[in-house]
Structure 1
Amino acid sequence: MKKKWYPAVLSVLLAGTMLAGCGTSGSNDAQGSANGQTAKEKIKLTMWGAVPAEAGPQAVIDNWNKDHPDIQVEYIRNVNDDAGNLKLDTALMTNQNIDLFMNYDLAHLQKRMDAGVALDLSTKTDYDIDSQIGEDAAMWKINDKYYGIPTKKNMAFVWLNKDMLDAAGLPIPAVDWTWSDLEEYAKKLTKPGVYGLLQADSSFSTTMDGTLAGMGVKQADGTSNFGNDLWKEHLEILHNMMFVDKSTPEYGEQLTSKMPVDTMFLQGKAAMLAAGEFIFRNANNLKDYPHDFKTAFAAIPKVNKDQKDYKYSGGVGDMLALNAKSKNLDAAWEFAKWYADGGMLPMASGGRIPASKSVDSKEAMSLLMKGVEDKYDTDSMNKIVFGKFPSFQLNVTQQAIDARKEEYEKYFLNKQDIETTMKNMQTRSQELLK
């Protein structure tokens, strides 16, 4: 079942639809006027993405615009959350002026492909995505086709305040640590004014996704795997940390206060933070986020020691797609190739390491670490941030992901027990997976 667009929302937003198209230079040079010819049209492209413009995208755009006076690009930010994705989807469906747009998970790309707004790149023979980006790119294929170029190396991990770990006598965790291990670490690291663990909103499901990717979305008989015991164990550990150990915030408090978890970690108000590479843009900004401690890194833990085929959130991401309805597809394609093959380098300082083989990884790492070399534990960074792990892109419909979140939120808000939660996730996903 495909998710329907919301007519009421679209009808309201249609009134504000921007006119698509490109502007002209508006003037002729002397030779052109003499020959009765108009000056060459200047193409204007619009790119939407979730990263703040000042954290790299604007520098990327400025570099392109400087070297391509006839093709000028404008960057528009839309936050990668439910509201931001709805804003982007609405703009795409109402034919607003979008030529390129970023996708941060396969489910949203699938929805946009189904809606006919993500361009099928199978006709583009001048750029070999598999060769340029590597084998992980194939995780983004839909029906064996690409609907964008994956542009960066994906990374999700646990940020560790190494000074706090050292004070508590705790070593940097082994790669294969578990949620029970993390729970014990969090209890030992929690103290007045300091949580043992904080999580970015997107990280609440990271272990669940890695577990599902390993076992498969469906069981051998075709029934959903959303009611599996590993998810149950993981959710129960988190619930216990919230309401018994008090080592991580209660979900309702984090939700209603819009808790700035990355800022709190950098302020020393948490010993561990489950997040991704996007935190680097703040962690490396010592002017606005001053901190003295050294950061180390650990893998996102699996559920327990007996778990098999667990996969790690990683691979490649930031899928840059072309709007199939753009009037400037050739120009947009030239920009997309340039962006992937090195144009995006100014974003490396914020943790977005280019995936293309055309980019020198040492140069990208140098940009990431420039001026903050003493703020990181290099051994754990090399092992975890730049390590190689079995990774995945979860191939599940957005409706099933949304249904799962609705159910575990009820459990974390104490509106239903764990048995009801697991039963509902199983039942709802089974219906959707049909």
Structure 2
Amino acid sequence: MKRKSLLFILIGILVSSLFLAGCGNDEASSDGKVKLTFSIWGGETDKAVYEERLKLAKEKYPDIDVELIYIPSEYAQKVQTMIAGKKAPDIMQLAEDVHAYSSKNQLAPLNEYIEESGLNLKENYGEVYENYSRDGNVYALPDRGGSLIVYYNKDLFDAAGLEYPNENWTWNDLLNAAKELTVVENGEVKQWGFVGGEWWPQWMSFMYQNGGGVLDEDGNVIINSPESVEAMQFVVDTYYKYKVAPTREDLANLGDIGGDTLFAQGKLAMNYTGFWAMSTSNSVAELNWDIAPMWKNKEPGTVPFGSGLGVSSQSKHKEEAYKIIEFLTSEEGQMPIVDNKQDAPANVKVLGSDEFLTKDWAAHEINVDTFAKSTEAMIKVPYIPEWNEMQKVFEDNFADLWLNEDADVKAILDKTQEDLEALIGD
């Protein structure tokens, strides 16, 4: 009996040791190199470009091995499952919901590593790094960038004898041009001047351009401020009062298409969206298009896009993980983004580089410096921990704005103000 008891005890110890060895990240591989994991989303091109960039990081840090974890769908849910199982990736690609992670202490603050490395955040990324900061802590370094910009059909502008859009345009310039560029024949719109503003980066940019917004600098809800109401009324008026933008019903009648497709078809004079629309615009050889920074009203304002790279609070190799993300967001680490025409890089030095400015982004010459110019107008987006819930409030409350020309903008924003205050405990 004693021998059996001793055998069971030894087996129990062995099983427990094996289980514990399987939990958490390995300290290092057998060859002494640090092993990191890095989670990303996107398409096959995104995966390939990250792999290329990691090869460059390997050249700089040969003792750090990085395993890419490609999650093309349900990214947030799968990463949260990994975090709950104590198997969080050492490095995580993050976007608008960055503070859904940081507020749960799932991300490591990077301040001490930034200070030790001497990284100048503003010099490298402009003001956009603040979107990845909360309560004085930086939780991610900007990686892929760009912002809301204007796409315009040069032939349509030339035919109407109008000047092209530029960063000095005001709302009046935008509206006057949109009126001239909207063509109606026999009661049917054949050409639209403008695309409207149903998507949150669009209407939100208008609010900030008018001195309003969603939250003020202290985190107070201001979405029903006079400035915000005036901005949203202007957006809604482009549909119903001035009739220069297609409504949701109009787009459904055209085959349930969006602004990018309508622009590529040559039936839309001005579209405003992100870097990705260059692909759609390039798909039509005869389309003579260009890009320009967003217009302004009381002040400039455009929503930045992209993603950042953060370090998991579970990582046992935070210092090494920081070295990798610092490199990936450096000029050298960002260049494959340009070489492969993947996206607009977040590093402002790369945005202003000859490599970026002279790249053949289109079959004809376009104003690529638009992206660098736009960095000065980027707003601090309210990426609060309740971001996803806040988006649901917008979706529910604003539905009537896009479907009903008699909707009361002030009343809807008053209701949104109440809902947001209840959500974030204002």
TM-score bracket relative to the smaller structure: 0.7 to 0.9
Q: Partners of 2:38 and 2:256 in 1: how far apart?
A: 30
Would the aligned equivalents of 1:209 and 1:394 in 2 still touch at CA under 8 Å?
Answer: no
Q: Partners of 1:253 and 1:103 in 2: how far apart?
A: 35
Q: Secondary structure at the match of 1:410?
A: helix
Q: Which runs of 5+ in 1 are unaligned?
A: 1-18, 26-37
- 1:372 partnered with 2:362: yes
Q: Secondary structure at the match of 1:119?
A: coil
Would the aligned equivalents of 1:239 and 1:412 in 2 still touch at CA under 8 Å?
Answer: yes
Residue identity opposite 1:394 in structure 2: V
Aligned equivalent of 2:334: 344
Superposed displacement of residue 336, structure 1? 0.9
Among candidates 60, 64, 70, match of residue 50 of structure 2: 60
Identity of aligned residues (%): 15
Q: Partners of 1:430 and 1:212 in 2: how far apart?
A: 22
Q: Partners of 1:20 and 1:413 in 2: how far apart?
A: 51
Q: Partners of 2:373 and 2:398 in 1: how far apart?
A: 31
Superimposed CA distance per residue, residues 229-282 of structure 1 (whole angstroms, 9 cap, x where no aligned partner):
333233333333334554323236769987443243233232211112233355
Among candidates 304, 319, 339, match of residue 308 of structure 2: 319
- 1:411 partnered with 2:401: yes
Q: Partners of 2:205 and 2:94 in 1: how far apart?
A: 21
Q: Secondary structure at the match of 1:428?
A: helix
Residue identity opposite 2:99 in structure 1: Q
Change (3 A) 1:200 1:340: farther
Would the aligned equivalents of 1:60 and 1:344 in 2 still touch at CA under 8 Å?
Answer: no
Q: Secondary structure at the match of 2:310?
A: strand
Would the aligned equivalents of 2:88 and 2:312 in 1 still touch at CA under 8 Å?
Answer: no
Aligned equivalent of 2:376: 389
Among candidates 274, 277, 289, match of residue 276 of structure 1: 274
Q: Secondary structure at the match of 1:301?
A: coil
Superposed displacement of residue 159, structure 1? 1.0
Superposed displacement of residue 94, structure 1? 5.3
Superimposed CA distance per residue, residues 392-413 of structure 1 (whole angstroms, 9 cap, x where no aligned partner):
2134632445424432233223
Q: Partners of 2:80 and 2:374 in 1: how far apart?
A: 34
Aligned equivalent of 1:113: 102
Structure exhibiting the larger radius of gyration computed from Cα positions: 2
Superposed displacement of residue 85, structure 1? 5.0
- Pairing of 1:35-434 with structure 2 (within 5 A): 43=35, 45-49=37-41, 51-54=42-45, 56-65=46-55, 68=58, 71-74=65-68, 76=70, 89=80, 92-93=83-84, 95=86, 98-105=89-96, 108-124=97-113, 125-130=116-121, 133=124, 136=127, 139-140=130-131, 141-191=133-183, 192-198=189-195, 201-211=199-209, 217-218=215-216, 224-243=221-240, 245-251=242-248, 259-283=257-281, 286=282, 289-302=283-296, 304=297, 307=298, 310-313=299-302, 318-341=307-330, 342-348=332-338, 349-355=341-347, 357=349, 359=350, 361-366=352-357, 369-370=359-360, 372=362, 374-376=364-366, 378=367, 381-382=368-369, 385-386=372-373, 389-395=376-382, 397=384, 398=387, 399-400=389-390, 402-414=392-404, 416-431=407-422, 432=424, 434=426
Change (3 A) 1:311 1:217: farther
Aligned equivalent of 1:9: none
Q: Partners of 2:203 and 2:126 in 1: how far apart?
A: 25
Q: Partners of 2:260 and 2:84 in 1: how far apart?
A: 33
Q: Partners of 1:426 and 1:409 in 2: how far apart?
A: 16
Superimposed CA distance per residue, residues 339-366 of structure 1 (whole angstroms, 9 cap, x where no aligned partner):
1112222222244134165x58324424
Would the aligned equivalents of 1:279 and 1:350 in 2 still touch at CA under 8 Å?
Answer: no
Q: Which runs of 5+ in 2 are unaligned?
A: 1-22, 184-188
- Calculate the TM-score normalised by the size of structure 2: 0.73
Residue identity opposite 2:223 in structure 1: F
Would the aligned equivalents of 1:53 and 1:77 in 2 still touch at CA under 8 Å?
Answer: no
Q: Partners of 2:416 and 2:198 in 1: how far apart?
A: 22
Q: Partners of 2:351 and 2:244 in 1: how far apart?
A: 41
CA RMSD of aligned residues (A): 4.0
Would the aligned equivalents of 1:151 and 1:355 in 2 still touch at CA under 8 Å?
Answer: yes
Q: Partners of 1:362 and 1:39 in 2: how far apart?
A: 39
Superposed displacement of residue 167, structure 1? 1.2
